Copies of this chain bind each other. A is one copy, B any other.
Amino acid sequence: MFTMTKYVYSFKEGSKDMKKLLGGKGANLAQMTSIGLEVPPGFTVTTEACLKYLEEESMPSEIDGQMREKMDDLEEQTSKKFGDPENPLLVSVRSGAAFSMPGMMDTILNLGLNQDTLQGLIKLTDERFAYDSYRRFINMFGEVVRGIPHERFEEKMDEVKEQKGVEKDVELDVEGMKEVCKKYMELVEDIPSDPWQQLMEATKAVFASWNNKRAVTYREINGLPHDMGTAVNVQSMVFGNTGDNSGSGVAFTRDPATGENKMYGEFLMNAQGEDVVAGIRTPMQLEELKEILPEIHSQLNYVCKILEKEYREMQDLEFTIEDGRLFILQTRDGKRTPNAAVKIAYDMANENLITKEIALTRITGEQIEKLLHKQVDPEVDVEKIAKGLNASPGAACGKVYFDTDEAAERGNDGENVILVRRETTPEDIHGMAAAQGVLTSRGGMTSHAAVVARGMGQPCIVGAEELLIDMGREQFSAGNVVVKKGDMITINGTTGDIILGEAPLIEPEFSTEFQELLLWADDIRQMGVWANADNPNDARKALEFGAEGIGLCRTEHMFFDPERLDTVQEMIIAEKEEDREKALAKLMPMQKKDFKEMFEVMDGHPIIIRLLDPPLHEFVPNDKESQKSLANKLGIPVEEISERVKRLEEANPMLGHRGCRLGISYPSIYRMQVRAILEAAVETSNAGYDVLPRIMVPLVGNVKELSSIKEKVVLPVAEEVFKENGNSIDYKLGTMIEIPRAAITADEIATVAEFFSFGTNDLTQMTLGFSRDDVGTFVPGYLKQGVLSDDPFQVLDQKGVGPLVEMAVKKGRTANPNMSIGICGEHGGESSSVKFSYRAGLDYVSCSPYRVPIARIAAAQAVIESQ
């Protein structure tokens, strides 16, 4: 028996579960029809029909046949006839794929009009309305089916308006509209007069638009499949512009700005849907509909309740009132502000509309990010002068300063300051700390400025390559705009926008609903959420945000304190080992004090302390002046200083003499640090705290590096310290996995390491060959061209870096089943990366304190999604 494929579904035949076949729009129209809402009748030509058409390159007769059958039904239901000059059935034709997809051809209204049916419509309504409908049809058919640019229609319209001496479309009288129709008909030659031919051409055009360039590019960038096709929805027209008893509007089932459980929306009487959006007349609030058409308002309220019950999500619906009768034309999940998202999710769970699990999946990392930081008021127009990478979220206003010392001074004096630099180095930290925000023209998402700003929870834009910074004249230009020292700007670290002047900001909110959601998340998640913190303030902040440990304490940040930097430089410049030891002896008590404070704050929580990581040249002065001053302090010739500094320079410092390589070349540095950690641990423990120190060796690529440091540094120092103190303490020794070779040989490394922490910043740099400081030169282009779908320093590259993470987890756990494994790269606070970490089997993620809430939610979402 030959079974014919069903290519066309009436709205009565489908349901919301048939998105793949009917597209999102078609499935929702079917669903609404099936639950008894008043939807103008129609049918959907399936995505399969689209694929079949694209494959055969012509419309198979079986599809044509099935469409005719459904059109017969439609005529019956509406008591009108397609192409009947007396009582014409008009339809809309709309595309609708399973995913919303910008770039595909969209809508043709009033299809079925021609010179004959136009006369029928005139009789049934009025002449101006009919010609207005006709010109809309010609326009849309011309654009969608014939690909004639929108502007060409605008030109014609303008010609007529000028001719008639009017300014707005609505001011055109019947004759004007007739003239427009005439001009449009000249533009769109050979428009078929046969409505069926109109319909088939429109359907084919929508099908073909699946493969137009913009749609293909969109799918490529978003990783969507190319073999899904789009459906076509054919729906009988209803008109909101047939008189004072008619109207059109949009409604949200809840307030999309606040989340309040109350219908919200706008409408226009005697108008079509597009008029509401077009902004020519000012729409009214839905509240007012209560006065005008109380029954309709009440029906709409009822529809909202039904749709929410049906979809268990806040809906955004379009309606038309035709002569006092309410029609629902479309429904879809409504967009909302972050605050609303939180409130709606929380409320719906409490209303038992959804489970707590589903509530948790309803908030995204981006939304939480916005909840935690000041934002530029989106309602206000601002003058954007350039765009950079959105390195650290939140917005800040301040006066521009280029000199770090000056920025620090002004900032500490209470002025609002934005520090602007080509790039920042550790020597700029005091200026950054005193500023409201930081803006650089170089560097990527993990450049120094970006990392430090995120750690401080401070807005930051980096890699704004359009800016031409003239440090000498203390000004920058962006296009034609020149911004001088002291000028006020606003940076929007959430979007990367650089704004001239002081933009109005919205304060962050941290609602009780959000607090509740976080607690729900904690109940569900299985991974720990730790934070990266280098000082007691950050550690306290981390605990406040719910962190359960410190996954990364960068000891070098403690070196940059201006009081200490001198001694650090003395240590680095030392040519003789004994001079180095002398300087280290001065640093020891300082580091020890830092660690004691950290241990006290983190009482009962583990702290992973990473030994010195950056190349030494980051600590020494490059300019002659500072070199002279250092020379004076140390009492050695400046030439020697500059020679030594020069020797520290490297062609590619990221791949150079840093991390454990330093620890092996200069074991005394690591010895000092390990001693400081363990003495601090013993003493804090003696004072009654529960101290859980973990020592982490950076940049290990070879198990021998780790074993060498263990044997030559850690074990002997620990033995000494414990002996001296007559008391020992449990500590763990572990390593970063941040070099591809470390992941590849993780089984070997796991024989020595007690824990792994993925440094996905460096791992990304090396696996992809992207210098985090230099990606500004090509990554923006890659994102634009779709070579990359995300910045790999923001969103973990699961296809490229992911396999190394999985390999290391597997090999590491095979060699050492008790291995604790986490991630402490910037990705630890990004939702999709947190979810990946869960799937890869990590024990915890660690991120900057401000991102801990994101990680808590994402970790819960990971569990829910995997179920």
The chain A residues found within 8 Å of chain B, CB to CB, are 423, 468, 643, 650-657, 661, 664-665, 699, 701-702, 704-705, 708, 738-741, 744-745, 762, 765-771, 773-774, 777-778, 781-782, 785-788, 797, 799-801, 803-804
Contact A664 B782 (CB under 8 A): yes
On whether the beta carbons of B740 and A767 are closer than 8 Å, the reply is yes
> B650 to A800, Cβ gap below 8 A?
no
Q: Nearest chain-B residue to A655 (Cβ)?
A: B771
Residues of B within 8 A of A665 (CB): 777-778, 781
Contact of A652 among B468, B652, B702, B708 (CB under 8 A): B652
A769, B664: Cβ atoms closer than 8 Å:
no
- Across-interface contacts of A770 in B (CB, < 8 A): 655
Q: Which residues of chain B are within 8 angstroms of A705 by Cβ–Cβ distance? A: 787
Let me know if A664 and B788 touch, CB within 8 A.
Answer: no
Pairwise interchain contact B739-A787, C-beta atoms closer than 8 A? no
> B650 to A777, Cβ gap below 8 A?
yes
Tell me whether B651 and A651 are in contact (CB under 8 A).
Answer: no
Contact in complex: B744, A650 (CB < 8 Å): no
Q: Residue A654 contacts which of B651, B704, B708, B738 (CB distance < 8 angstroms)?
A: B651
Name the residue in A768, A786, A797 with the highest tally of chain B Cβ atoms < 10 Å from its Cβ.
Answer: A768
- The chain B residue with its CB closest to the CB of A764 is B741
User: Which residue of chain B lies nearest to A465 when distances are taken between CB atoms in the complex?
Assistant: B647
Q: Which residues of B contact A704 (CB under 8 A)?
A: 786-788
Question: 5 pairs across A/B with beta carbons < 8 Å?
Answer: A654-B769, A655-B769, A656-B771, A665-B777, A744-B804
CA distance A699 to B770 in the complex (A): 11
Q: Of B468, B654, B656, B767, which contacts A777 at CB under 8 A?
A: B656
A769 and B650 form a contact (CB under 8 A): no
**For the complex, what is the distance from the CA of A699 to the CA of B778, rounded to whole Å?**
13
Rounded to whole angstroms, the CA-CA distance of A708 and B652 in the bound complex is 28
Complex CA gap A618/B661 in Å reads 28
CA distance A778 to B656 in the complex (A): 8
A797: nearest chain-B partner, CB-CB: B741
A744-B803, A799-B745 are known contacts. Are A708 and B771 too (CB-CB below 8 A)?
no
Contacts A745-B799, A800-B745: A651 and B773 contacting too (C-beta < 8 A)?
A: yes
Residue of B nearest to A468 (CB): B643
* Shortest distance from the beta carbon of A664 to any chain B beta carbon, whole Å: 7
Chain B residue nearest to A748 in the complex (CB) = B799
Residue among A468, A655, A657, A773 with max Cβ neighbours from chain B (10 Å): A655
A434 to chain B minimum Cβ distance, whole angstroms, is 25
Q: Are A767 and B769 in contact (CB under 8 A)?
A: no
Determine whether the beta carbon of B773 is less than 8 Å from that of A650: yes
Q: Is A655 touching B657 in the complex (CB atoms < 8 A)?
A: no
Contact of A741 among B745, B768, B787 (CB under 8 A): B768
User: Pick the contact of A773 from B652, B765, B767, B801 — CB < 8 Å?
Assistant: B652
A654 in contact with B657 (CB, 8 Å): no
- Report the 3 A-B pairs with minimum CB-CB distance, sorted nearest first: A655-B771, A652-B771, A651-B773
Docked CA distance A738–B740 (Å): 13
* Closest residue on chain B to residue A700 by CB atoms: B769
Q: A781-B664, A785-B664, A787-B702 are in contact. Are A744 and B769 (CB under 8 A)?
A: no
